[in-house]
A and B are shown apart, each in its own frame.
Chain A
């Protein structure tokens, strides 16, 4: 068992950050960090994960055994923090929040390999760094995926072939635009607002130019991948499981995104109606 606090802080910080950044819930991040701590022989450690950051206090190394079992954080030295060393606290900020299930899975796998004793701390650290620097793929291919799923969803919401093609174009363009803004430090509000504007204006242009198609179906279908449905589900789930702070934070996030999208679409539609257009 390694007794290296610096290495452990790096592993914990990176693992927690990877999980929170790529769509894992706070409960999973906390559980993973606690397991890593326990496997490293520091069972009294405490973790608090929020959607915007993770805080970990690593307890001193504890080698005591009660009977046959290793200490589970309840021995005198652990619970009072009077062990051999001093406790170390670590805070990591989480600045971007996307959904990347592959990275989430790999980070989870690396953490699990360490807790099962199949990998050492330095090995885990290099593995996590590899995952962190992994490329995120081609944005044009992403845009095509986004367009195709948007088109198919508009078909599902009652559209025909014309709506499918329009929603494909809208979803494609919206994904491209939002991937352009992804790396600049623009506020999330502005990014979603612009997404809404792009989708609505394209839908308005296409329907008026060809004189056919249902504009509502096109807009709803193309908004599918910008809408924070999963975030809303996570918000309620977090609140129900007692992670009150992260639940409320996610609620605020969802409200902001939904309102900015609707604001973008609403502005374009009201201008369109003001110019004499009819929303069918």
Chain B
């Protein structure tokens, strides 16, 4: 895959995410960042696929980009993480896969349906696992940091 193609896709994907966030009525100040994250996750996804990585890991790491930056931004902006996850996840989420699966079923192409359904399920599982893992990690990290801060405070108060 050429760099020019990647840059073009990044720009297109970022613009598409901007309009998607507007449609979801994301808070205005979050839109530029979520759009850039959406573009970046698509680039990661495409790069992994172009380097012959399995599809599941492409979905997993594409989602990882979104989830990690969403948790960071949620702490910075003091907003719930889904506000950042929903718009920027749109490019990576295999909605078209879902549609192709259902179309195969409707058009009675059962062999293709079986393949597509399995792939779709695993793709969604990869995405969900990435989201859940990041959420758990972020929660335990912030819990750890807050207890450490409290302990430090207590120590300081004990000294003085």
Q: Which residues from chain A sit less than 8 Å from chain B, CB to CB?
A: 23-25, 28, 99-105, 108-109, 137, 142, 145-146, 148-149, 152-153, 155-157, 220, 223-225, 227-230, 232-233, 236-237, 240-241, 254, 258-259, 261-263, 265-266, 270
Chain B interface: which size bin? Answer: 35 or more
Chain A residues, Cβ within 8 Å of B79: 105, 108-109
Q: Could you tell me the distance between the alpha carbons of A115 and B106 in the complex, rounded to whole angstroms?
A: 50
Mostly, the A contact residues are: helix
Contact of A137 among B25, B82, B83 (CB under 8 A): B25
* Pair B23/A156 contact, Cβ less than 8 Å: no
Q: Which residues from chain B sit less than 8 Å from chain A, CB to CB?
A: 9, 12-13, 15-17, 19-27, 42, 79-80, 82-83, 86-87, 89-91, 93-96, 98-99, 101-103, 105-107, 124-125, 127-129, 131-132
Contact of B15 among A104, A105, A152, A266 (CB under 8 A): A152
Chain B residues, Cβ within 8 Å of A262: 99, 102-103, 105-106
Contact of B25 among A102, A227, A258 (CB under 8 A): A102
Chain B residues, Cβ within 8 Å of A157: 96
* Pair B94/A258 contact, Cβ less than 8 Å: no
* Pair B90/A230 contact, Cβ less than 8 Å: yes
Q: Could you tell me the distance between the alpha carbons of A28 and B106 in the complex, rounded to whole angstroms?
A: 36
* Pair B27/A227 contact, Cβ less than 8 Å: no
A selection of 30 A-B contacts at a CB cut-off of 8 Å is: A28-B82, A100-B25, A101-B24, A101-B25, A104-B80, A105-B83, A108-B79, A142-B23, A148-B16, A148-B19, A152-B16, A156-B13, A157-B96, A220-B96, A223-B96, A225-B20, A229-B95, A230-B89, A236-B127, A240-B128, A240-B129, A240-B132, A241-B132, A254-B98, A258-B99, A259-B102, A262-B102, A262-B103, A263-B102, A266-B107
